[in-house]
A = this chain, B = another copy of it.
């Protein structure tokens, strides 16, 4: 199986060379296991994507770094970005997992919004821009990238994503 919902103790135990029950004892429920996976993924996302971008100058340079790291994250994730897959799996399955996902995605989008605001304050972007709209469009471009790359296996996915980003940045810049 694949994805967060398809994760099973049996399969995971085999891979970890442990007994199913021994592994289960650690997490006490499948929900807890799923949450642990998401927590770990979020930590990795911060380390790989956000943290290195914070070293860049505020504004467009930082946004470019975020996107570049984000692309690397998508490319590196075996089985696809866990947040994307889990979002589709859990979007109509209420529970703590969906709540966690919701919060994580919201924080990330707020971060993107803030990055756009900083870009406006730094003079890279126009001042009257809608920062949440920028976050939506940037996020959409990355959704498109993941889709093109994973399902379609399109070798031009990176090129398309780059072109879309340039178009987006140009339109929000002075």
Contact = CB atoms under 8 A, between A and B. Distances in A.
A135 to B, nearest CB: 9
Interface of chain A: mostly helix, strand, loop or mixed? helix
Nearest to A168: B167
A84 to B, nearest CB: 7
Interface in A57-93: 79-80, 84-85, 87-93
Nearest to A167: B171
A25 interface: no
B144 A140 contact: yes
How many A residues touch the partner, as a band? 35 or more
Interface stretch (A27-35, A48-56, A114-122, A145-153): A145-153
A6 to B, nearest CB: 8
